[in-house]
């Protein structure tokens, strides 16, 4: 992209571009990012993914369970 838009002149003065002051919401989000939130983020339509059964718990999966293929 920079090759396409490369200028064909050199400005006499350096142009300083100041970013627009962050809005209250943006600043809040940035700060809040560090401290707000719950205990875990994802909320799913699934209830429990039981996964593979093992010897210690031989019971059958419930209808709502989804088995994940081992990667």
Partner 1 sequence: MKEGPGELGQKLVANMPALTQARIGELGYQNALRNQPLLGRGKSLRALRGQFSDKGDHCIVVGAGPSLHRRRVAERLRELRYQGTLIATESAMSYCLRNQLIPDLVVSLDPHAKRIVRWFGDPKLVPEDIAKDDYFSRQDMDPAFADELRSNLQMIELLNQHGKKMRIALATSASEAVVDRVIETGMEIFWWNPMYDDPNAPDSVTAKLQALNRMPCMNAGGNVGSACWMMADAVLGKKHVALTGIDFSYYGDTPYRSTQYYRDAVDLVGEEALDSIFMRVFNPHLEAWFYTDPAYMWYRNCFMEMVGDASCKTYNCTEGGILFGDNITFLPLDKYVQGTRS
Q: Residue 54 — φ and ψ, nearest 5°?
A: -130, 180
Q: Does residue number 22 form part of the binding site for partner 1 (CB under 8 A)?
A: no
Q: Does residue number 57 form part of the binding site for partner 1 (CB under 8 A)?
A: yes
Beta carbons of 29 and 10 less than 8 angstroms apart = no
Which residue number, 7 or 37, has a Cβ lying nearer to partner 1?
A: 37
Which residue number, 11 or 38, has a Cβ lying nearer to partner 1?
A: 38
Beta carbons of 31 and 19 less than 8 angstroms apart = no
Beta carbons of 53 and 70 less than 8 angstroms apart = no
Residues near partner 1 (CB under 8 A): 24-25, 27-29, 31-54, 56-57, 59, 62, 64, 66, 68, 70-71
């Amino acid at each position: 992209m920079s090759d396409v838009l490369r200028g064909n002149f050199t400005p006499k003065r350096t142009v300083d571009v100041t970013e627009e002051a962050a809005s209250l919401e943006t600043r809040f989000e940035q700060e809040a990012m560090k401290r707000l939130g719950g205990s875990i983020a994802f909320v799913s339509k699934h209830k429990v993914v039981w996964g593979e059964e093992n010897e210690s718990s031989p019971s059958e999966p419930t209808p709502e369970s989804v088995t994940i293929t081992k990667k």
